Amino acid sequence: MGSVYSREYDSRAREERACSPDALAAILEQQREAFLRDGPPSLEKRRADLAKLRLAIKDLADRIADVISADFGNRSRNESLLAEVYATRAAIRYFLRHLAQWMRPKRVPVSLELQRGRARILFQPVGIVGIITPWNYPFQLAILPLATALAAGNRVILKPSELAPRTAQFIADFLARLFPLEQVTTVLGDQTAGAALSALPLDHLLYTGSTTVGRLVMRAAAENLTPVTLELGGKSPCIIGEDAALPAAVESILYGKLVNAGQSCIAPDYALVPAAMREEFIRLAGQAVRRMYPNLNNNADYTRACRQLLQGHT
């Protein structure tokens, strides 16, 4: 089967979307008019959109890994293919398998005084969904929420992280060739673009990132009573029991800590270890690091931090 991803240059994708509040309001209005005009997309339409997105990701897997690595300074190709490409395609496959079941109306009982009536829950899209994403998994954390919103029948305004600019531009090009702008629009720009998007009267807003910015996002969204989903960073302790199989536990902990240079929201932050096992834990941890990464300099399998962060951006 040939690729569904157009090889022809689409000039819309190269034009960075204006990020002023008025320009974003115009994008929202365009999408809302289309949503009200067309109504909720059918099961067949949603499946077709998800299928072409999944196939396009497969076709461009190597390119995805390349642009992310360029943003990071070096990103392990294996990590990018596993965490960005495979994880996203696997999730979309799951959506395709279960979407018909999720869309099916659900019969629910009615109370005694309404017994002659019948009730059911109809699952409907909310409308226009805003998505603001971070830099640490710049493709997966943009495309997976996008696929989720499309599966639910919504339209999307996506703001990728400015700290991974090459990946953000790639995503803009990629999505503009797959979907019309009235269905999916990618907004490029710095944190002011994210702030402007948060302030729009969206039907739902998803933000992934820091707790500090999450508070600002929720505060801006509250002005319009926009429902918000936040995925925020935090602390992830590992608790070692006295009966733990220590070598296996340490191996798993160090893998989780070192993958993506530790830049994962659920990366182990610290370990609570019984005092009697402390020295053995340290010894095994050192062995695990040396086994997984015999050297760090010039090691293509060890991910560097995001290049933009290394240049002093916050």
Question: Do the strands 204-209 and 228-232 form a parallel or antiparallel pair, or are they unpaired?
Answer: parallel
71: buried, middle or exposed (CB in 10 Å: 19+, 13-18, 0-12)? Answer: buried
Residues 201 and 306 reside in one and the same domain: no
Could you say which DSSP state residue 153 is in? Answer: T
Spot the catalytic one: 16, 231, 251, 280. 231
CATH number at residue 74: 3.40.605.10
Q: What mean pLDDT value characterizes the chain?
A: 90
Q: Classify residue 262: in a domain, yes or no.
A: yes
Question: Tens of pLDDT along 42-88?
Answer: 999 999 999 999 999 999 999 999 999 999 999 999 999 999 999 99
Could you say which DSSP state residue 5 is in? Answer: S
Residues 98 and 241 reside in one and the same domain: no
Categorize the per-residue pLDDT at 13 as very low, low, confident or very high, splitting at 50, 70 and 90. very low
Identify the domain boundary among 232, 251, 285: 232
Do the beta carbons of residue 75 and residue 303 sit within 8 Å? yes
Structure tokens at 306: 């995001």
pLDDT at 312 over 50: yes
Question: Tens of pLDDT along 165-207?
Answer: 999 999 999 999 999 999 999 999 988 999 999 999 999 999 9
Active-site residue, 231 included: yes
pLDDT recorded at residue 308: 65
| Domain hosting residue 257, numbered range | 237-310
Structure tokens at 256: 């989780």
pLDDT at 39 over 50: yes
Spot the catalytic one: 16, 251, 265, 280. 265
Please report the DSSP string for 204-236 in residue order.
Answer: EEEEEE-HHHHHHHHHHHHTTT--EEEEE----
Categorize the per-residue pLDDT at 299 as very low, low, confident or very high, splitting at 50, 70 and 90. confident
Q: Classify residue 266: in a domain, yes or no.
A: yes
Integer Cα distance of 132 and 220 in angstroms: 13
Active-site residue, 113 included: no
Question: Tens of pLDDT along 206-239?
Answer: 999 989 999 999 999 999 999 999 999 878 899 9
Tokens 């190597």 correspond to what residue? 62
What domain count does the chain have?
A: 2
pLDDT recorded at residue 305: 73
